[in-house]
Structure 1
Amino acid sequence: MMTAVAESWKELADTTQVKPRVLHWTVDRYRKAIQNGVFGEDERLELLFGGIYERMGANPPHAACIELLQEYFTERYFKKYGLRSENAVQLSDESLPQPDFVVVAYRSDHYAKNFPQITDVFVLIEVADSSLLVDRGKKKTAYALAGIPEYWIVNLKERQLELHLQPDRVQGLYRSVVMYAEDSKATSPFVGEVVVADILPSVDPE
């Protein structure tokens, strides 16, 4: 049985609890925190809607898929467009995600002074395995609200390409979402015909 003293301490604790203050981060504040060593530059973090989230760790299939995307787009668009993997894109004053791959307008300085902005982006791609719910949820909403014209999810779990088009910047959704199986060909407004198998890592045993 709880003693009278213990009960009085419990009552005191209940009445004096202070709710933790939730910080709302801007891009400027977030970047300054990194510069000041609050967060390590090599930490897998990204800013979405004013909140800081830890990005899922990469596994071998995820890393292989990013390399495939790099090869695929480099063969077609080298020095015609900027091809960036796991680098930040600024969507707003409170969102600075780091998509797995993005095709942006080519700049000779390679965005040395500022991250690419919404108007620089042609295609944005997330490679999804353990991150699938986030990529289909919070990230898809962020990209639609920003007006990213073409959003791909390379779904490693179901081995398919999920092509999102026609962003609705008011409701935060894509009006067109089409799933393309591994043995099919997708139609991308930017790329044209995409053989889905070409951007999926092999699952054959060594």
Structure 2
Amino acid sequence: MIPQQSWEDARRLWDFQQMGHRVHPCSVAIGLGSHDLGVADTTAALYHRGMAPLIVFTGATSRTTRERMPRGEAEHYRERAIDLGVPADAILVEPNARNTGENITFSRALLADRGTHVTSALLVCKPYEERRAYGTARKLWPDVEWVCASAPMAFMEYIDSIGDARLVIDMLVGAQQRLMVYPEQGFMIRQDIPADVEAAYHRLVSAGFTSRLVPAPAARD
């Protein structure tokens, strides 16, 4: 059973992670690998809307995905997007990244090797990691305009789609922790965190939602 206070705190973190960017056509869409194939669905939908002429799917595997995505997150995303009607030649696969920083760094190198000039990028990720992804991308590739996008889902709708409320809340807590500790380590830009959001984070940690926390000094996952 998850206490009512924890549900309220998790929803507060969820709302904070939403950047609220206005999606517009960009040079490329970069889909960040994860356990959630919905990222591939959202990226494919943006492609079909004409929001980007080219897609990069980036991601190896992690402890969460090594069994369900044995060929690698980026490859499974590519297969899903092709099933959804995206032409194979509109997709690049970056198969080595194992954290958000590598997602950005390796995608940048791949696009440079291809000769693709990037002035703006759709950063497609899970709904609860928009702010983390944005902070990392701004730090590592600052001369690009970053537009965050994710599945337009309400908090409970997203939990239902994943089927594991505790996993989602653990991930939310982990994403929030990184916003608080990674700027000091040079991994992302600093972002203002409202006091009520920080308090919600600490209550969730005290309630035991800690499986996705990193130790200090953090070793990026």
Report the TM-score, using the length of structure 1 for normalisation.
Answer: 0.29
- Structure number having the greater strand percentage: 1
The structure, 1 or 2, with the larger RCO (C-alpha pairs under 8 Å, 6+ apart) is 2
Greater C-alpha Rg? 1
